[in-house]
Amino acid sequence: MSKNLRMQGGDFTSPGGYFVTICTKRMRPVFGTVVNGHMHLNDAGNVADAFWREIPEHFPHVIVDEHVVMPDHVHGLLHIPTASKAHSPTACRGGMEAFGKPVPGSSPTVIRSYKSAVSRALGQKFWHPRFYEVRARDERAIANIRRYIRENPAN
């Protein structure tokens, strides 16, 4: 039985903040190096960073907050400020994803698209197949997540 890394039964289209961590396979350093507590992106890292910033161009309802591209993973905070179209009566199970039925506008769909775009641009598949996602409970949690992301290269 495989371990699910996201909250069971969660609705990942509902309004709120989502802290996402996406790792490379076998934690292979693909995106650059950390030197003296500062991340130095290589060409692949610049692509990963640029594509993260472009998420709202492809998913206009998503707001990109704090993020950092590290050598072997990406941390990001995404906000879905209002209920997406996935909450329409025709949406799959009220906005909840089912195997083979991605929900438009859900955070898993956004992350899948991001990973696919970066892989296509770099001409290789290097992502771990899953990702970690935590729903921010309140403004205090969001502030803590932002600080964690900003301080990640130094740690």
Give the model confidence (pLDDT) of 83-122 as tens digits: 545 433 333 334 445 555 667 778 899 999 999 999 999 9
Distance CA 14, CA 124 (A): 32
Phi first, then psi, for residue 29 (nearest 5°) are -75, 105
Per-residue pLDDT of 29-78, as tens digits, reads 999 999 999 999 999 999 999 999 999 999 999 999 999 999 999 999 99
**pTM greater than 0.95:** no
Extents of the domains making up the chain: 16-147
The strand ranges marked E within the chain are: 16-23, 32-35, 38-41, 63-69, 73-80, 132-136
Is 126 exposed, middle or buried, given 0-12, 13-18 or 19+ CB atoms closer than 10 A?
middle
- Beta strand pairing status for 73-80 and 38-41? unpaired
- For helices 107-122 and 43-53, give the axis angle rounded to 10 degrees: 150
- Architecture of the CATH domain 16-147: 2-Layer Sandwich (3.30)
